[in-house]
Amino acid sequence: MSQSKQEVLLGNEAIARGIVESGCHVVTSYPGTPSSEILPAVVRFKKELGLDTHVEWSINEKVAYEVALAASYTGKRAAVIMKQVGLNVAADPLMSSAYTGVRGGFVVISCDDPGPHSSQTEQDTRFYALFAKVPALDPSTPREAKEMVKAAFELSERHYLPVILRPAIRVSHARQNIEFIPVVKLQRPADFQKDPGRWAATPRFRLQLHKELNEKLHDIQEEFETSELNTSVPGDDRRLGFIAGGTSYAVLRDTLQELELEGRFPILKIGTSHPIPQRLVKEFVAACDQVLVLEEPDAVIELQILDKSKLLGRLNGVVPSAGELSPEVIRQLLVQQANELGMETPTEIDTGELSQLVGDLGLPVRRPRLCPGCPHRAAFFGMKRALGSKAIYPGDIGCYTLGLNLNAVDTCLDMGGAVTIASGLYQAYRQDNRDVPIAATIGDSTFLHSGVPALANAVYNGARFVLVILDNSTTAMTGMQPTADSGMLADGGQGQRVAIGDLVQACGVKFIEEMDPYRVQEFEALIKRASQHTREPDGGVAVVIAKRPCVLYDPSPLEENPVPVTISEDCDGCRYCLIAFECPALVLDEDLGRVVVDRRICVNCGVCVEACPKGAIVEAEE
């Protein structure tokens, strides 16, 4: 045989490879940046290798967690994958399963997003490990992430505990050449052994389980004292040492090299963020004058270190307490420390001057925008025309949060938050006998994730508002994962469809109508009727399902029925369409003093014909 196969993989694909090479039997997930590419890569390897791995996109993270956990109850290996805020949703089973323990290896993969780049918080998954009293492993590179998946399964099976793997975005979305190890099938017939004192433990047994958990955690800490997951880099200059984990360790290593300080100061790399190897850390700290702690997004290792007198970190303000520890930030920290020790560092170009110059150019800021032809834009535009700016527009998590740009999203809290915020707003205004129109928007996948209980609650408690479910047939923001409404399964197979309209009806909603939002005038009229329903004596929540596939997911309807537009001489460059409609394909030509269509990106949806109050955007003649 030639040398083993290598491939340049995304960190998330490397994690998937680790899952498959560990013989994992059941893998569940709910998509969310930066975790979304793991499950599809598991599907890829499953197909390539002809494995019978059960993979599923679950309805939400709590559900995903529990489905995978049950597989572990039977002795199989299982993994559940989510983004960091997804673990909030799955926090309930996480806490409880730490007490009950597991049987087959059970790995919880929760990807963090320091920055944040694509999340509502910069929260640190590793705090959940402390909270739930379970171990957490923190990889620095895709290659290490793959190895840590295997270590996590083994650790989980040695101690019968869930193990958290916490890759940060710079691991998940890094690319690196990864070696493939042949996959050996792990025979584990499902064998659930009844043990009510554990799997159905009442509070009386829970105290015992808590004591057991403490013992497990103690044993794990002992194991971590000598684990290969924690490594050190020697250095003779003990005036400064580094304790670092995850991405920060990787950036530290590269930056030390660039500053010609490689090998000078000792480094302790902590791969086991919880529990940290206390003795190892204590010895390391004792040997140094000062220790800079580098980790992100929060001070999880630092907080666990008992004697903090020599530490430089987030707790004493040396390391910034928000935002990513980018290479630029870490370089600045290192240069500062080196200078304090009286050391010179190599000079570099001063990019501050350049940043100033480029800033002064006033280049257009390319903020994220809905795509040309996006059906959400049409829906938001119709809603705004129907209800105006006095109405309150609770929004939700997905591409359609960008309705913000059209002033059609006033709140964005969390998954399902549109429905609950709309309910709460209604109750608050109703108390004062005030009638303020409320029109909430939520995507199809988000509605299924946590909108359903929120809607049942709204109906039950008599809330009144318009709920527009933006059904584009897919989970677009995170890369087109199928939804339960489509019935398509994670591996491409056909499952049983769960129709959104049926769920809405089952929640007790009396006004349910579905329409293609591209029909702007009719859609506007529908929103008005829906709003009227919320005011009628026997009215209530009105649900409008705005149904049209995402143009990236399914461009075929537009290819079959294109509506090319042209802009007539009547355009006076008033910018109304640019502000109220904000399609990237409509641009102001400064020289002509009017709007033109960028043909390279226009998808011929024709909706913008409605967006000009002067009627200057017209359908092109054949």
Partner 1 sequence: MLFATKVFSETALALGHDVLGSETHGMSQRGGSVISHLKIGSYESPLVRHATADVVLAFHPHEAYRGLVFLRRGGLCFVSGPDGDSWDRGVKDYMAENAIAAYVYPADDVALEIGSPRSANLALIGYAMSVPEMPFDHDQIRATIERITPSRFRKANLEAFEAGYRRKR
Half-sphere exposure of 39 (CA within 13 A, CB side): 36
Residue with tokens 């009293």: 133
Least distance in angstroms from the C-beta of 514 to partner 1 = 26
3-state secondary structure 352-398: HHHHHHHHHCCCCCCCCCCCCCCHHHHHHHHHHHHHCCCCECECCCC
Note whether 150 and 18 are within 8 A (CB). Answer: yes
Q: How far apart are CA 266 and CA 542, in angstroms?
A: 64
- Among the candidate windows 185-193, 202-210, 397-405, 531-539, which touches partner 1 by CB under 8 A? 397-405
End-to-end CA distance of the chain: 62
74 contributes a contact to partner 1 by CB under 8 A? no
Cβ contact 485:474 at 8 Å: no
Q: Show the tokens assigned to 199.
A: 């799997």
Query: Which of 18, 23, 34, 135 is in the footprint of partner 1 by CB under 8 A?
Result: 34
Work out which of 16, 251, 383, 612 binds partner 1, going by CB under 8 A: 251
Query: Cα-flanking dihedrals φ and ψ of residue 470, to 5°?
Result: -85, 95
Closest distance between partner 1 and the C-beta of residue 558, in Å? 18
The residue behind tokens 């791995």 is 53
Among 15, 174, 334, 509, binds partner 1 (CB under 8 A): 174
Q: Is 348 in the site for partner 1 (CB under 8 A)?
A: yes
Q: Hey, what amino acid is at 521?
A: Q
Within 13 A of 488's CA, how many CA atoms are on the CB side?
12
φ, ψ (nearest 5 deg) of residue 25 = -95, -35
How far CA 612 is from CA of 190, 578, 581, 593, in Å, comes to 63, 10, 9, 15
Residue 370 C-beta: closest distance to partner 1, Å: 7
Q: Which is nearer to partner 1, 193 or 355 (CB)?
A: 355
Among the residue ranges 30-38, 214-222, 488-496, 530-538, the one whose residues contact partner 1 (CB under 8 A): 30-38
Please tell me what DSSP assigns to residue 594.
E
- Look up residue 521 and give its two tokens: 């005038």
Distance (Å) of CA 611 to CA 232, 518, 519, 526, 606: 62, 12, 12, 18, 10
In angstroms, give the least distance from the CB of 2 to partner 1: 13
Question: Residues near 377 by Cβ (< 8 Å), separated by ≥ 6?
Answer: 370, 406, 581, 582, 583, 607
Q: Does 358 bind partner 1 (CB under 8 A)?
A: yes
Q: Does residue number 263 form part of the binding site for partner 1 (CB under 8 A)?
A: no
Contacts with 338 (C-beta within 8 Å, 6 or more apart), sequence order: 259, 261, 344, 345
584 is a contact residue toward partner 1 (CB under 8 A): yes
Contacting range for partner 1; rule: CB under 8 A; set: 49-57, 234-242, 369-377, 532-540: 369-377
Pick the closer one to partner 1 by CB: 294 or 515. Answer: 294
Q: Which x/- pattern over 104-143 shows residues binding partner 1 (rule: CB under 8 A)?
A: -------------xx---------------------xx--
Smallest Cα–Cα separation from 293: which of 268, 275, 276, 260? 268
Answer yes or no whether residue 349 interacts with partner 1 by CB under 8 A.
Answer: yes
Does 33 help bind partner 1 (rule: CB under 8 A)? Answer: yes
Least distance between partner 1 and beta carbon 267 (Å): 11
Interaction mask 291-330, partner 1, x per CB under 8 A: -----------------------------------xxx--
CB of 12 to partner 1, least distance (A): 9
Beta bridge partners of 545: 469, 514
Least distance from C-beta 275 to partner 1, angstroms? 25
Residue nearer to partner 1 on the CB measure, 231 or 505:
231
Residues that bind partner 1 (CB under 8 A): 6, 8, 10, 33-34, 36-37, 117-118, 140-141, 170, 173-177, 247, 249-251, 253-255, 258, 326-328, 331, 348-349, 351, 353-355, 357-358, 360-361, 363-364, 366-371, 399, 401-402, 477-479, 584, 600
